[in-house]
Amino acid sequence: MREDLNERAPRRIAVLDPIKLVIDNYAADKEELCEADNHPKRPEMGKRTMPFSRELWIEREDFQIDPPKGYFRLYPGNEVRLRYAYVVKCTGYEKDASGNVAVVHCEHFPESRSGSAGSDQKKVKGNIHWVSAQHALPAEVRLYDRLFSVPNPGASGRDFLQDLNPNSKKTITAQVEPGLAQASPEERFQFERHGYFVADQKDHAPGRLVFNRTVTMRDSWAKQAG
């Protein structure tokens, strides 16, 4: 299934665990459109546009205050590329009353826009995805995993119910790119970095976006079996 969907599923962006990113040197009233491939290996599938603005949603895991060695995403002082857009440098962050990071601040380099003549002048190792906070749409996303937490439930006489995976279904509210408002029930997509998703046959409707994860990007069980 993963190999089949990789060949034919159009790409879209969804932020499953959103945290606000504010570009302080980007005008508050400015908006622009960024071009993104519908499929990186099938140019005949064309391109789409994504709105870009001062405030974005990014994945919470794409920022750390004190990152481990080899972490190439956002942290204070580091630079990354916002996929299809600009290189940005993290300049600070804000915490909420509970002590959790609520907002990440950065500045962008206007000459670094993807596809422009100066886009290659800024060399960075990290590349993260985003959606415009002003234009993104909330979507119910159902993350399905294996029913059991081990390959052989109930092995050696063990009660198989003890091997049930408590995370076999997890429902979250994601922020998705606005183009997904046009998705039809049973239409399939790759949400970049997260896997392959299908618009729910019964619950997905205009004004209520519902996507089910069909399969992840990689087979986590293959690593365990090795």
DSSP 210-226: EEEEEE-SS-HHHHHH-
CA-based Rg of the chain, rounded to a whole angstrom?
19
162 Cβ contact partners less than 8 Å away, ≥ 6 residues apart: none
- In terms of Cβ atoms closer than 10 Å to its own Cβ (0-12, 13-18, 19+), residue 23 is buried
Question: Residue 46 and residue 63: Cα distance in Å, rounded?
Answer: 31
Architecture per CATH, domain 137-225, reads as Beta Barrel (2.40)
DSSP class of residue 39 equals -
Domains 15-132 and 137-225 share a fold: yes
- Mean pLDDT score, 33-53: 96
Q: Exposure string (b/e) for 65-96, b if CB count within 10 Å is 16 or more?
A: eeeeeeeebbbbebbbbbbbbbbbbbeebeee
pTM of the full structure? 0.88
pLDDT, tens digit (0-9, with 9 covering 90-100), for 113-159? 998 887 888 889 999 999 999 999 999 999 998 889 888 888 878 88
Percent of the chain with pLDDT over 70: 96
What homologous superfamily is domain 15-132 in, according to CATH? Answer: Ribosomal Protein L25; Chain P (2.40.240.10)
Provide mean pLDDT across the span 51-64: 98
- Identify whether the C-beta of residue 178 lies closer than 8 Å to the C-beta of residue 137: yes
Query: Cα(189)–Cα(119) distance, rounded to whole angstroms?
Result: 28
HSE-CB of 118 using CA atoms within 13 angstroms? 7
Q: Where are the beta strands (DSSP E) in 110-184?
A: 126-128, 131-132, 137-144, 169-176
d(C-alpha 3, C-alpha 216), whole Å: 11
SS3 of 110, please?
helix
Question: What is the distance of C-alpha 128 from the center of its chain?
Answer: 8
Summarised one tens digit per residue, pLDDT across range 156-199 is: 788 888 899 988 899 999 999 999 999 999 999 999 999 999 99
pLDDT for the residue numbered 225: 43
CB atoms within 10 A of CB 207: 6
Location of structure tokens 């002003």: 134
91 token code pair: 């300049």
Residue 122 CA to residue 169 CA, distance in Å, equals 41
Residue-range domain boundaries for the chain: 15-132, 137-225
